[in-house]
């Protein structure tokens, strides 16, 4: 099976699974469509990072596609769903184990980090703090100053946690450079927004 066929089969499964398991949230901005597109973007960054780190591209991309497949199923892990899917499709055992390891070790800090795990962690952060996330944030903002201030401060705290390493280490040089730029963008926007809210309040007396 070619890489394109492999990725096409995996992405079709992920899209179908997310749509079915997240059907109650289909209209939500963070519903199954968003999670699927997030997975596609994570897979893209996995591909880019794998090339720079000389890692196995197929394993990294597959892990990126599958890492959130059970997002709407709190009782089921994405690790189990990914493993069951790959077993049913009779994927190569070594490949399957490597993909599962990357997904599983991303969320368990006690486990050793393979290069594929590090790439998946970085790729996930790159999208979670990407431009589309900021766009969705602005589209969902309240029109009242008190709520707007609370929402802005909440996201700003998330950015500060990323900057302090509370969401885990950033492993690759490409991710460090991009995330540093995105942290600057988020800080400039959110702090500027909060400043304008305060200026308006001051002027209103």
pLDDT score for 67: 98
Ranges under pLDDT 70 in the chain: 1, 205
Residue 181 lies in a domain: yes
Same-domain check for residues 108 and 173: no
**In terms of residue numbers, what domain contains 55?**
1-115
Same-domain check for residues 153 and 62: no
d(CA 38, CA 31): 11
pLDDT score for 140: 87
d(CA 120, CA 64): 6
d(CA 144, CA 88): 51
pLDDT score for 205: 61
Structural domain total, the chain: 2
pTM of the model: 0.93
The CATH code of the domain that includes 82 is 1.10.472.50
Residue 43 lies in a domain: yes
Q: 10 Å Cβ neighbour count for 61? A: 27
The H or E element spanning position 98 is helix 93-106
């Amino acid at each position: 099976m070619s890489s394109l066929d492999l990725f096409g089969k995996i992405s079709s499964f992920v899209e179908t699974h997310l749509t079915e398991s997240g059907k109650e949230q289909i209209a939500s901005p963070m519903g199954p469509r968003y999670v699927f597109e997030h997975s596609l973007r994570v897979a893209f960054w996995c591909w880019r990072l794998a090339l720079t780190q000389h890692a196995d591209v197929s394993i990294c991309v597959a892990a990126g596609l599958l890492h959130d497949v059970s997002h709407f199923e709190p009782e089921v892990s994405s690790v189990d769903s990914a493993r069951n899917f790959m077993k049913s499709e009779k994927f190569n055992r070594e490949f399957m184990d490597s993909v599962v390891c990357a997904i599983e070790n991303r969320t368990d800090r006690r486990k050793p980090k393979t290069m594929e795990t590090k790439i998946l962690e970085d790729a996930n952060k790159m999208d979670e703090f990407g431009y589309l996330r900021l766009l969705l944030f602005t589209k969902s903002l309240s029109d009242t100053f008190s709520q707007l201030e609370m929402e802005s401060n909440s996201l700003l705290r998330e950015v500060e946690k990323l900057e302090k390493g509370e969401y885990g280490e950033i492993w690759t040089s490409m991710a460090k450079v991009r995330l540093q730029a995105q942290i600057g963008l988020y800080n400039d926007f959110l702090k500027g927004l909060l400043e304008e809210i305060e200026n308006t309040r001051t002027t209103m007396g």
